Amino acid sequence: MSNGADCAWIDYIVFPAASGAGNVLNVNASASPAEICLGESSQLNAFASGGSGNYTYQWTPETGLSDPNSSNPVATPDETTNYSVTVNDGSSSVTDEIILTVHPVPETPEITLEDDHLVSSAGSGNQWYDSNGIISGATGQTYYPAATDHFYAIVSNEFGCSSDQSNVIYFIYTGLKENMDHRFNIYPNPFVDHFTVEFNLPAESDISICLYNKLGQKAEILYEGRKQNPGFYQLEFPRPELNQGIYFITINSSTFSVTRKLILAN
């Protein structure tokens, strides 16, 4: 029988946690960024915790994913997608979801040359560029170049998504405004077999009439004349040996320069 001298006092006892208590399997899904433009990618992430620590991952749908069995696949979907990830630790599984929003990209604009200015087919969201890059403040549908250069436009929408680059036009700056008294007319337009150019020449001058393609490249010299007398001219031209499409016809003289769009049809 003990008198108590050989007894030990125990203040507390720490018991191991019961299986699963405080160690519940959990997963949180995220996307960075959560909003993208069509054609862009987002990094998906599944942050797993708890459980056995030995995790497997399954993302669905698998559409647009680099690896549906990875904890962090890259997603490049064609439309807004609700991605779900299921994590399994060998004895239990949990699931979380994330919505990846895909915004549309604006249509690629087409720019045209109209007399002394350029016009974009997009009514809004334009940004004009020259060979040096972005043109500060040039965001309207119409742009009046102040120098000879190559120009193009890119359109952005309210989501910050940008279109592909438009066609490029080589603009020749003359510094001269068109005088309507010059009466520069083209008909028929579009044309198939032939077309007629009419204009007034106010003073004796050299004249050249040329066709340019949409890239601003000279496609054909239609007419060249030196020291032409002033007066009214009416010139008829046969169909050039060019593919159908949009061209630009320019008449240059010592007193004025005018450009018009000309459509060659089948």
Which residue segments constitute the domains of the chain, with CATH numbers given? 26-103 (2.60.40.10), 111-171 (no CATH), 180-264 (2.60.40.1930)
Q: What is the 3-state secondary structure (H, E, C) of the chain?
A: CCCCCCCCCCCCCCCCCCCCCCCCCEEEEEEECCEEECCCCEEEEEEEECCCCCCEEEEECCCCECCCCCCCCEECCCCCEEEEEEEECCCCEEEEEEEEEEECCCCCCCEEEECCEEEECCCCCEEEEECCEECCCCCCCEECCCCCEEEEEEEECCCCCECCCCCCEEECCCCCCCCHHHCCEEECCCECCEEEEEEEECCCEEEEEEEECCCCCEEEEEEEEEEECCEEEEEEEECCCCCCEEEEEEEECCCCEEEEEEEECC
Give pLDDT tens digits along the chain (266 positions): 445 555 445 454 444 444 444 589 999 999 999 999 999 999 999 999 999 999 999 999 999 999 999 999 999 999 999 999 999 999 999 999 999 999 999 999 999 998 778 999 999 999 999 999 999 888 988 888 878 899 999 999 999 999 999 999 999 876 544 444 456 788 898 899 999 988 888 888 899 999 988 777 889 999 998 888 888 888 999 999 999 888 989 888 887 778 888 899 87
pLDDT at 21 (0 to 100): 47
